[in-house]
Structure 1
Amino acid sequence: MRPVLDAARARRSVSKVTDAAPDDAELLELLAAAGRVADHAALRPWRVIALRGDARARLGAALAEASGLDASDPRGAAKLAAKPLRAPLLLAVVAVRTPGHSKVPEWEQDATAAGVAHLLSLLLDEAGWGVMWRTGPHTRHPAVATAHELGDHEALLGWLYVGGRPSGWRAERRRPSDATAQFSTLRSRD
């Protein structure tokens, strides 16, 4: 059996979830495992912020502000402000950068944080939760950074929207991914 391979093959994004969500104890257990990603110099250049309840509405207000759209227009800012309410739990994934590190450039620190996000999404899926990683054009806007209380050397990578899987939900069956077009071998010079 190859359980990790099977879990990766079975993972599917779940765009509509129920109001159930993992508690902090379960999240901490999964984060402890997700934090085992490759991490050059063991910087732990990431953190995760849980947004529940009213914190999601505050994020929605920041997204609406970032858009510059009219807040009273139901097709504009109001629609954008409602997006964080699509799931009971949002996990904001933050890259925590150590600028000028002698061995680990910032892009590599961001890659580690993205690795944590992906592995966490896989672990949540395997634990039975519905998960979808979302970003958008306002992810790096100052109003959104302020809503998350980010520090000077932190950058938001996006949110994992987490909730219960709807009753009757089944992962759609997909053909196995053919990675042939994304794989090559660098030949030696003889």
Structure 2
Amino acid sequence: MDALTLLLTRQSCPRLVAPAPDDAQLKVILDAAARVPDHGGLAPWEFIIATGEGLNRLADVFVAAATEAGEDDDFIAKAANMPLRAPMVITVVAKTRSDIKKVPELEQQLSAGCAVMAMQQAAFAQGLGGIWRTGSFAFDETVNKALGLDDTDQIVGFLYLGTPAIEMPLKPQKDGSTFARYL
């Protein structure tokens, strides 16, 4: 698939099954993330990869967070199954530095967000599927602590990766020019 086709046909795939990306595919995915725009060369990100038993550990983290937040039993049960919707989940964390004045923290967070997009595109280019999710757990202190994150870290997404369970119908193309204006 050429780059323009990839960019113009990208869409999320919420139904994912094994196999997860293999080691070679994962290396490409991670290497693509490391190539995103990164003012100052700060590499303001961390990728926490969960597969196999790691998915169960992530589920335990989500359950603990939901319980701590006082969620009802239905939501807690849903939280327990969230990481199990794919054979791999990569938690992408913006690791910002406030001491670098020439690179605002927002710019660093945007760079981490670009990393998620690059990883998803690299997965698609290799015939895999994925979906970038956030939700309340991306902003939860219990989740942050359980994952060993600092107070200044921000989860920018959970990238679910695997093999598409079904062939997704291609969504209609949006006309990008409808969102643009000239000065």
TM-score when normalising by structure 1: 0.87
Answer yes or no: is 1:38 the counterpart of 2:19: no
Q: Which aligned pairs between 1:155-166 and structure 2 lie closer than 5 A?
A: 155-166=154-165
Q: Which aligned pairs between 1:28-177 and structure 2 lie closer than 5 A?
A: 28-67=27-66, 68-69=69-70, 73=73, 75-166=74-165, 169-177=166-174
Q: Deviations over 1:27-51 (max 9, x none)?
A: 1222212321111111111121111
Q: Which structure features the higher share of helix residues?
A: 2
Deviation at 1:161, TM superposition (A): 0.5
| Counterpart-to-counterpart distance in 1, 2:157 and 2:116 | 9
Does the CA contact (< 8 Å) of 2:32 and 2:115 recur in 1?
no
Q: Deviations over 1:64-93 (max 9, x none)?
A: 23223467x3x2311221111111100111
Letter in 2 for 1:107: L
| Counterpart-to-counterpart distance in 2, 1:69 and 1:128 | 40
- Report the aligned-residue RMSD: 1.8
| Other structure's SS at 2:136 match | coil
Aligned to 1:185: 182
Does the CA contact (< 8 Å) of 1:66 and 1:141 recur in 2?
yes
| Counterpart-to-counterpart distance in 2, 1:174 and 1:79 | 28
Q: Which runs of 5+ in 2 are unaligned?
A: none
| Counterpart-to-counterpart distance in 2, 1:25 and 1:4 | 20
% identity of equivalent residues: 33
Does the CA contact (< 8 Å) of 2:50 and 2:88 recur in 1?
yes
| Counterpart-to-counterpart distance in 1, 2:167 and 2:78 | 28
Letter in 1 for 2:180: F
| Counterpart-to-counterpart distance in 2, 1:141 and 1:102 | 27
| Other structure's SS at 1:41 match | helix
**Which structure has the larger Rg over C-alpha atoms?**
1
Letter in 2 for 1:184: R
| Counterpart-to-counterpart distance in 1, 2:6 and 2:34 | 18
Does the CA contact (< 8 Å) of 1:97 and 1:153 recur in 2?
yes
Does the CA contact (< 8 Å) of 2:20 and 2:161 recur in 1?
yes
Aligned to 1:12: 11
With over 3 angstroms needed to count, the CA separation of the structure-2 counterparts of 1:179 and 1:28, relative to structure 1, is same
With over 3 angstroms needed to count, the CA separation of the structure-2 counterparts of 1:70 and 1:110, relative to structure 1, is closer
With over 3 angstroms needed to count, the CA separation of the structure-2 counterparts of 1:181 and 1:149, relative to structure 1, is same
Does the CA contact (< 8 Å) of 1:39 and 1:112 recur in 2?
yes
Aligned residues: 181
